[in-house]
Amino acid sequence: MQSAIPCLFMRGGTSRGPFFLETNLPSDAKIRDRVLLAALGSPDRRQINGLGGANPLTSKVGIVRRSAEPGVDLDFLFAQVMVDQALVDTTPNCGNMLAAVVPFALEVGLVQPQGDTTTLRVLTRNTGMLCAVTVQTPGGRVEYEGDARIDGVPGTAAPIVINFLDTAGSVCATLLPTGHVRDRVEVQAGSDGEGFDPFSLDVTCIDNGMPLVMMRASDLGRTGYESVAELNADATLKVRLEALRLKAARLMGLGDVSSKTYPKMCLVAPPRAGGAVATRCFIPHVCHDAIGVLAAVTVGTACVLDGSVTQGMAHVPPGDKKSVSVEHPSGEFTVELGIDPTDSQNVTRAALVRTARLLMRGEVMVPSLILEREVT
């Protein structure tokens, strides 16, 4: 026997996955996670028995409810469903899936349109991050067609403007969790990893919406312009990055992250397509085909901080309002940052444009036995 759970299958930015009303999922988190694993088809590298797309970007879930917090309209819980592990991680944020939250809420009648545009405050429960999301709603319906274009998604669509109201220290305690803009991290073979000689390199550990460990690609003997396929096939690099990730995470106050999807690892290089900086991000063990929304915000923030690993390579415009173009394997991602005119190290605002689309509405089927466990 199978049980049907209502959901909308949506693309948010360069990610996609099913969106659920919280009331349609089990209240017990462990049972809920088993339902999500079954719905996506994990653990299986092809996710052949579920809705997952066999990639971290297409193995995501959104869970939405009306908020009880004063001044907040919607609560959003993001779930990263691991492809080949029986693991659901609700610790980090996802700015791409965030773009689909307000369209989802409008589609299911959780909230009502406000006019030609609808702006709602969304609280991401994963980290307590608050943002204002503006969606086009002419005639009282979500508009998906438009002229906005984002790299990593074919065609154009209606713009969705996300204004982040509080991103610094989303998972870590502060923007710079080690207390420094740049740290020298030493990794010893054997204790911190295997298959490489001991090494040390400069990193910037930073969290402005997404915990990142940033390093110059050249310090690891790479250009930073390699293709996604080349980097995913680079076993030596991936082993070194994982050892570095585990070591840096402890410096960031995150403890043992061996079973976590954060911090992400980001190689940076001088721009070569007119942007501010070139990136290759790992999430955390697979190279991203593009770059995550909040990773782009965090990279952009690092670019404006004196002393970060991007200093001397990043091309950043002058002024207190900066548009920082972050290059990635499939294009670029522009982040608009506001800088405190009295403190150049203080980023006061981050905003960007994403798109979303409703792909399918209906019910996902999961084995009834999973839900029956909640009753018994």
Per-residue model confidence as pLDDT tens digits over 166-200: 788 889 999 999 999 999 999 986 544 456 788 99
Please tell me the pTM assigned to this model. Answer: 0.78
- pLDDT-derived band at 338, boundaries 50, 70, 90: confident
For the chain, percent of residues with pLDDT exceeding 90: 83
Per-residue model confidence as pLDDT tens digits over 61-106: 999 999 999 999 999 999 999 999 999 999 988 999 999 999 999 9
* Top-confidence residue, 13 or 373: 13
Per-residue three-class SS string for the chain: CEEEEEEEEEEECCEEEEEEEHHHCCCCHHHHHHHHHHHHCCCCCCCCCCCCCCCHHHCEEEEEEECCCCCCCEEEEEEEECCCCCCEECCCCCHHHHCCHHHHHHHCCCCCCCCCEEEEEEEECCCCEEEEEEEECHHHCCCCCCCECCCCCCCCECCEEEEEEECECCCCCCCCCCCCCCEEEEECCCCCCCCCCCEEEEEEEEEECCEEEEEEHHHHCCCCCCCHHHHHCCHHHHHHHHHHHHHHHHHCCCCCCCCCCCCEEEEEECCCCCCCEEEEEECCCCECCCCCHHHHHHHHHHHCCCCCCCCCCCCCCCCCEEEEEEEECCEEEEEEEEEECCEEEEEEEEEEEECEEEEEEEEEEEEHHHHHHHHC
CATH T-level topology, domain 183-348:
Diaminopimelate Epimerase; Chain A, domain 1 (3.10.310)
Domain parsing of the chain, residue ranges: 2-159+356-375, 183-348
Q: Tell me which architecture the domain covering 2-159+356-375 has in CATH.
A: Roll (3.10)
> What's residue 192's pLDDT?
47
2-159+356-375 and 183-348 agree in CATH topology: yes
